[in-house]
């Protein structure tokens, strides 16, 4: 269970870019972290990972401070958490030292599947290849908690579909996943719960089963929460 008791990040005197109180994610949940550009999704994942300065940060993982157990977390980000000067093989050596449960065989299976050369420097990979490497490493960490920031960004349609199937197919059921994405259509059927962020706060916390029962669509709720008007672009044309 992941418990965000109080997390707040501010720049200067401005309004906090992240303000979360008492958000609990039980083990085994797949949670979509959604919201407009700049609403705080990446900041939220980074705050959980302890990346960057955060003024208030009280986060528990299974009842203990998260900072004592980062090896339980796999952070998969479009920015890349790999070390560019290493080759995939060297990077795996590095990861094995930090993640005792790192699954080398599965990592190599994924490298092969994604046709990534194991002995080529990561920095020479294309953007898509780097992001496939990021996914391979993240999924092989044997972590129970996955924080994924835009794992679909820059990937072609088939790669996105493969990734989702691989991710789901590899789950044992007790993994907890927070996935930041703008691809609603692709994750709608996969997530259990949706957190809709707005201006650094959780504006709506919804269970997909409830939505389906009520015959509501996630996209419509997001538009409502964001106050989106389909004709708003017209002000630019005037
Ligand atoms: N160094 C900074 N100084 C001031 N504000 C910042 C800084 N870095 C980020 N922000 C602000 O924090 C807010 C949240 O940013 P964040 O990257 O978490 O948004 P996001 O929801 O992930 O957006 P997107 O969907 O565009 O990726 C934004 O409004 C951004 O302008």
Q: Are 184 and 219 in contact (CB under 8 A)?
A: yes
pLDDT of amino acid 228: 72
User: DSSP character for 18?
Assistant: E
- To which residue do tokens 């449960």 refer? 101
- pTM for this prediction: 0.90
How much is the mean pLDDT over the chain?
Answer: 90
User: DSSP character for 132?
Assistant: H
Structural domains in the chain, CATH included, are: 2-237 (3.40.50.300)
> The tokens of 171 are what?
């789950």
Query: Which of 133, 162, 153, 163 is CA-nearest to residue 78?
Result: 153
Best probe residue, ligand 1, of 34, 41, 178 (max atoms within 8 Å of C-beta): 41
Kindly give the number of the ligand 1 atom that is closest to the alpha carbon of 18: 14
What is the CB < 6 Å shell around ligand 1? 11, 17, 35, 37-43
pLDDT in tens, 82-136: 899 999 999 999 999 988 889 999 999 999 999 999 999 999 999 888 888 988 9
């Amino acid at each position: 269970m992941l418990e965000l008791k109080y997390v707040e990040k501010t720049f200067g005197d401005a309004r906090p870019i992240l303000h979360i109180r008492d958000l609990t994610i039980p083990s085994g949940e797949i949670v979509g972290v959604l919201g407009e550009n700049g609403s705080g999704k990446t900041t939220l994942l980074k705050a959980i990972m302890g990346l960057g300065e955060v003024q208030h940060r009280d986060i528990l993982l299974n009842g203990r401070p998260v900072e004592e157990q980062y090896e339980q977390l796999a952070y998969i980000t479009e920015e890349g958490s790999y070390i560019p000067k290493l080759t995939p093989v060297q990077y795996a050596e590095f990861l094995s030292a930090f993640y005792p449960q790192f699954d080398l065989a599965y990592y190599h299976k994924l490298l092969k599947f994604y046709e990534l050369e194991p002995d080529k420097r990561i920095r020479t990979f294309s953007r898509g290849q780097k992001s496939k490497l990021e996914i391979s490493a993240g999924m092989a960490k044997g972590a129970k908690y996955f924080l994924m920031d835009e794992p679909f960004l820059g990937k072609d349609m088939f790669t996105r579909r493969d990734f989702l199937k691989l991710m789901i197919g590899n789950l044992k059921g007790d993994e907890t996943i927070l996935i930041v994405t703008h691809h609603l259509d692709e994750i709608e059927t996969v997530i259990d719960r949706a957190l809709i962020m707005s201006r650094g706060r959780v504006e709506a916390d919804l269970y997909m089963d409830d939505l389906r029962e009520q015959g509501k669509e996630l996209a419509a709720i997001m538009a409502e929460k964001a106050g989106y008007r389909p004709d708003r672009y017209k002000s630019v044309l005037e």
